[in-house]
Every structure is written in structure tokens, then in C-alpha cells.
Structure 1
Amino acid sequence: MRSDYRLLRLAGPLLLLMLLAGCQSLTGPGDETAELRGTGDLGLVIERASGSVLVVDTTEKTVLGRVEGLGDLSHASVVYSRDGRYGYVFGRDGGLTKVDLLTRSIDQRIEQSGNSIGGAISQDGRYVAVSNYEPGGVKVFDSETLEQVANVPAEYEDEGGETRQSKTVGLVDAPGNRFVFSLFDAGEIWVLDMDTPEPEVTRYEAGKKPYDGLITGQGRYYIAGLFGEDGLSLLDLWNPEEGAQHILSDYGKGEERLPVYKMPHLEGWAIAGDRAFVPAVGAHEVLQVDMESWDLSERIPVQGQPVFVMASPDHRQIWVSFAHPRNDVVQVIDSQTSEIIRTLEPGEAVLHMEFSPRGETVWISARDSNRVTVYDTRTLEKITTLEAEKPSGIFFTSRAHRLGL
């Protein structure tokens, strides 16, 4: 008995060490294990040419690894599960890939259409919706299994009375487990309610050829840009019975007809307090808009055609990127004075910017320089650069807790 007791005393610490070692990892897909850590400071960087993504750490400002095999990422975006562990990557080839950030591997992947243009995740995290060019419409999937739960073909009648299926754009999530999107060919805005016994669609007239859309941070206003006419279409989701309203009638292409690739991304609008800072179309200006009246209040001259106009999390700065050929710089505007306070040179072909969750840094991708540059938003000085293969979109897990992203 005494010898057995001594053996137990000796074995106890060893067993404890084994248990503690086991707590340092968790099981991932298949036989892989993942480091036991939080995901709040992680993110994905799209490598558009190689069909891969980088998993990055915004605290250490490092690359943790690469996940390959995601297909055509030439126009890719990402949304996140509520816990921030999984990123849902929407590829241009219709691929929907669920990436595990902890194991740095593909959890699941499906090809749900021939050509897709982004997606969204529902407020409760149960559904992932994808916006499609080919064959058109929106498909909705279970976020756990990627099994299809709804198909909305976005059908409309053309001028000849034929039933056709529209390209869908500007897909965002809205409060109440709704998705809002625009029909490019039909000139409509649709609201898809996933909380009804069967998915339910409400349709609104929007104007000619809506090409992109955004939803304001509190989830009230959905705004669609119009390619077929000047101005924008605004739907107040608090008062949808009023229908979509035409706003900013001077906003648009005017006399000059520009190709689609020069049209700014509406998701890149900066909302700062009661003002919106908007990239002008066909002009070297950032427009300041009063969000109470939706009137233009100021024009801010900048060095090129803006593409993204993004507010820092504290709304003190407005960061602006530009279209070709002046797409190797980023300009920073003071939101109080509307003055440009710095012009930065992150590299050739700047494509995307993303602020760290609390805004102390901003990450900027430069496709043709094969790098991501991290800046301190207080000093506006470069902190570090990270190598990446033709990087484009940068998406941090903090997006998991924000509407419309």
C-alpha cells in the first residue's frame, strides 16, 4: 500500500503536466490542431493572383500563415462567424470557402454559381448569403454546413415582357436577419427577410442600373449607387413604406461616361458623426454630405479619382485611396478641418485599407509592390511592411460584430 501511494505521488505532477500540455491546443478539422488563443486580433488578407489568403495578427503585426486553394479571388470579400473563428470568402468564380483561422485551413468549400460578387452574414450568424452575376440572384446557405437554405433568382420582366434574372449587387446584412441587395438589370432594391416561416422578399423601385450599395452603421439607411443616372437611391429601413428616395441628384458621372472599374465602391464611404464623406465620381474630390438633409455641404479637392474614402474608428481622420493612374498614394484628411494632413506612399496599385479594431493602426495593400504596409494612425508613420502575393482586400475579425460588413 505504501509503495502504491508513493507511485501515485510521483505520477501526480506528471499527469498534471500532461493535462496542461493538452490544454494548449484544440481539435480542428480532420486531425489538425489549433493553438488555443482568441481570434479578436486576427484577420485575412486576400492574395488575388494565387487564390490564397494570409492569416494575420494585428497585435503582433505578423503573418501567421497562408491558406491556399480558394479559386479566383480577383474580386473577393470576407465576412466572419460571430465567434471570429471562421472567415467566409466569396470568390469571383462563385466559390464560397469557409476558412478556419485557428487551424489555418479550409473547413468547407462549395462552388455555388458561375460568377459571384460578394456576400453577407445574417445578424444572428445562422445564414451566409451570396450575391451572383451568373446566373444572377442571391443564394443563402447555412453557416455551419454550407447547405443551401434559400434561392432567390431575382427575376424581372424586361421591356419585351420576357422573364429574366438580374445580376445582384450591393448585398448587405440588416437588423432582423434581413439581407438587402440591388438588381442591376431591373433597377430595384430587394429586402429578403430570413425570419419569416419562408424567406420573404419585398421589392422597391431604385432607379437605373444600381451598381453597388451600402448600409449605414446603425442599419437604418441602405444606399444604392446608380450607374444609369446621376444621384443615388436611399431606402429608410425604419420607414420602408416610404419607398426608395432619390438623393444627391448631382452625384454621378455627369456628362462624362466612365467605365465601371472607375466607379467608387460605396462600402468605402466614410460616416463620421452626422456627415458622410463620399468619393466623387469622375472628379478629383471628396464630397461632404449632411446626413440629415442628404445635401452636399462641401467639396474637398484631392489628388486623384477617389475609390475608397474611409473613416478611422474615432472619426478623426478620413483616409482616401485612388483609381489608376494615381493609385500609388493615400491621402489623410482631418475630419474637423476638411484639410489634407498627409500624403503617404504605401506602394504601387493601392487596393484596400483596413483599420485595426480600435484604430491605432491602418493596414494598406499595394498589389504591384507585393506588400501590405502598416501605419500608426497617430503619428502617420510606417510601422512595418509584410510580404504578400498581389494583395488586395484586407478583412479583420472585428467585422464580425458590425452590421453591413
Structure 2
Amino acid sequence: MKKLLPFLALLISVNAAADPRATGDLGVVIERENGNALIVNTTEHKRLAKIEKLGDLSHASVVFSHDERYAYVFGRDGGLTKIDLLKDAIDKRIIQAGNSIGGAISQDGKLIAVSNYTPGGVKVFSADTLELVADIPADYGSGQRSKVVGLVDAPGQRFVFSLFDAGEIWIADMKNPKAPVLKKFKDTGKQPYDALVSPDGRYYIAGLFGEPGLALLDLWNPEAGVKHILSEFGKDDDKLPVYKMPHFEGWSVAGDYVFAPAIGQHKVLVIDKNTWDLHGTIDVAGQPVFVMARPDARQIWVNFAFPDNNQVQVIDAKDLSIVKTLSPGKGVLHMEFTPRGEQVWLALRDDDSLAVYDTETLQEIARLPASKPNGIFFSSRAHRIGL
């Protein structure tokens, strides 16, 4: 046996060196109907592995550990799965609720928070072991419990989230994770349905489904309370059917402007970030879902709800004009830029594929197979606030 040990050590070393892998150019693609996740290499445009049996991924989202080794997948069925991107394997999986809508990782990378519809509230887990650290029920009124949406991480070891049914925004200070300190803002608007935090972590903005406008909370000055902005936009317009709710985490801050989808309208809103007034609107091909800025903020890419979800439009953030309309395929559900923005990946659900575009030439440069993809998440998200 002793004679075999040096040989086994050499064999392990050779195998490990045969396919060395770092994590900076890895990503996770969700296959919604099969409950699988693909691990991809964004530089080489390769599928590396498929992780199976992750439950209901019809509304899945992903965050990454600080070292980019682990991906945490939030499933609609309340599943929370920790994936080891180097071993192509599930590290741990738990069912933490009955209906989950997403999650976030704390500023220090030690806590994973999950927002839940059923039971309504936020649960916080150890990022290392997935053991429960804190349970924050979203109780309001007379024994009622709200669905929780718009959960993001914020500087100061905080999580911020909205209560859909209660019309409230809460801040959870997690410096002592076993005893969260909650600050609650009531009467923030009717039915906040999703939210974002600005890239610098200062502003939390919640969209309101039940009334016109947005709810804005300055996290540098929370004592000022929640401010309503754009309350007059669309107030007197005819109510249109909404085929797919826009996603706030796909909204964009570029230069002095915030680019956001108008609910149920074929428009992108351009909001002055300094005054929070409406600067103007851009007419687009359909009802926008994701309005995403390239990392250098020069381009804004927009995809759409059915029946226009075979198109993507590219907006010049300087001229506020559409520079090109692309037809990459059927069912464009999600987009993700590479860290420096030279490429963008598109999930084409109804074409069972991923399309990769060069953002300078606006030409397709690669296509990979994927079964009903609906979410693309790159490991560079580990170093960005609010994703």
C-alpha cells in the first residue's frame, strides 16, 4: 500500500492539472422546466456541467459567495441549494419555505437571506452550513402576514425588502444575526411588487403595482422616510393588460439617469437621478421586462413580454435613442453581460438555446444548447451590491 501512495498522489495531481478551473468566468444558467442548472464558462462559451434535481425553478434566482466558488439557487418551491462550482456538485440543499421569490447574500458574505410568499417573511441562513440563523415573519395589521418581495443586500450588513400585501418597506440590520434590528416604513404605497438598490447602495426603489409611481428610500438618510416619485405618470391613462411583471433588479442606473420599464406600456422611462423627476420616455417594441445597462452604462438592452418576446432592442444611453432591434430567437427571457460588457448572453426559452452577442458589433458570436432556459447569472455578481 505504501508503494501505491506516491503513484496515487501523482495520479490525482495529473488529473487536477488536466482541467484547471478558476471561478471568475463561470456562470449558472437555469433550465426552468427540468429543474436543472448548467455551469458555463463565459470566456470559452462552453457548458461544463449540469446540476440536476433542484426543484421548482420557474422563478429562480442565484447569488454567489465572495470567492465565487459557491452559487446559491433560490427556487420557487422554497428550495435553497448551495452548488460547488469547482466540484460540479450540490454542496447542500434544504427546503426552507413553501413558496419563495428570491434572496440575497450579506455584505460580509456570511449570511443568505430568502424572501418568502408562504409563509410570508424572510429567513436568514449561514452561508457556510445553511443552518437557520434568523426568522423574520412579515406580520402586519391584526395577525396578518404579507408576501415579501424586493429583497436586496445593502451596505452596513443590512437587508432591505418590501411587504406586498402590507405596503411597507423594512430594513433588517444583521450586525448581530441572531437578533436582527428592524426598521419599518409603513404606508409606502399600494402593492410594492419588486425593488432594486442603486449600484452604490444608497437608494432603494420599489415599484408599485396598485397605484402609479414608485417608492424611494434613501438608505443614507432613512429618517427622512419614503418618498413617492413619478406619481402622476400614467395616472389618467387607460389600464392595459400586463403580460409579464417587469423586474426591478433588471432596471438600470446609467450616468445621471435611471432607465425603467413602464408597467403595461410600450415605453422605457428615463428618470433624472438627481431630482427623481421624469426626464422623458423612449418608445419601444413591446412591454419591457428587463431594462439592463452594459457595465460601462453606454448601452441599455431591453427585452419584452409576450407577444414581442422574440425581440431585443438596444438603446444608446447618450442619445436616448434606439440603435438596433435584434431578433435573436423565440422567448427571450433573460440577459446577462460579461463583467466588462464586451458580450451579452440571452436566454431563448422557446428555442432551447443561449445566444451570445458582441455588444460592439451587435452580432451573434456563439450559441449553446439549453433546455427552456430562463435565467443567466455570472459569478461576477459576487462583487456587486444588490444582486
TM-score by length of 1: 0.90
Q: How does 1:216-231 map to 2 (within 5 A)?
A: 216-231=198-213
Provide the rounded CA distance (Å) in 1 between the counterparts of 2:122 and 2:8.
Answer: 51
- Between the aligned partners of 1:354 and 1:262, the Cα distance in structure 2 is 19
Distance 1:120 1:184 in 2: 18
Distance 1:378 1:16 in 2: 50
Kindly indicate whether the alpha-carbon contact (under 8 Å) linking 2:114 and 2:122 is maintained by their aligned counterparts in 1: yes
Q: Which residue of 1 aligns with 2:65?
A: 81
1:322 is matched by which residue type in structure 2? Answer: F
Tell me how many residue pairs correspond in the alignment.
382
- Correspondence for 1:181 among 161, 164, 183: 161
Cα drift, residue 262 of structure 1: 2.6
Matched to 1:64, the amino acid is: L
> Does the aligned pair in 2 maintain the 1:78–1:90 contact within 8 Å?
yes
What is the CA–CA distance in structure 2 between the aligned matches of 1:286 and 1:373, rounded to whole Å?
A: 24
Structure 1 residue runs without a partner (length 5+): 1-10, 27-33
Larger Rg belongs to: 1
Alignment of structure 1 residues 122-271 onto 2, 5 Å: 122-157=106-141, 162-196=142-176, 198-205=179-186, 206-251=188-233, 255-257=237-239, 261-271=243-253
Q: 1:350 to 1:252 in 2, by over 3 A?
A: farther
Distance 1:141 1:328 in 2: 38
| Matching of residues 331-350 of structure 1 within 5 Å | 331-350=313-332
For 2:287 and 2:236, locate their aligned partners in 1 and report how far apart those are by CA, in whole Å.
Answer: 15
Contact between 1:252 and 1:281, CA under 8 Å: does it hold in 2?
no
Stretches of 4+ moved more than 2 A in 1?
14-21, 23-26, 34-37, 250-263
C-alpha separation in 1, matches of 2:190 and 2:9: 65
Q: Which residue of 2 aligns with 1:101?
A: 85
Whether the 8 Å contact between 1:230 and 1:254 is mirrored in structure 2 is: no
Q: CA deviation at 1:104?
A: 1.1
1:44 and 2:28 correspond: yes
The percent of aligned pairs where both chains have the same amino acid is: 63
- C-alpha change, 1:258 and 1:201, in structure 2 (3 Å) is farther
TM-score normalised by L of structure 2: 0.95
**In structure 2, do the counterparts of structure 1 residues 253 and 348 end up closer, same or farther at CA, with 3 Å as the change threshold?**
farther
Q: Which moved more, 1:337-346 or 1:76-85?
A: 337-346
SS in 2 for 1:400: helix
Q: 1:82 corresponds to which letter in structure 2?
A: H
SS, match of residue 278 in structure 2:
strand
- Matches of 1:381 and 1:271 in 2, distance apart? 25
Instruction: Describe the shift of the 1:199–1:296 C-alpha distance in structure 2 as closer, same or farther (beyond 3 A).
Output: same
Deviations 1:50-105 (A, max 9, x none): 00011000110111111001000000000000111110000000000001111111
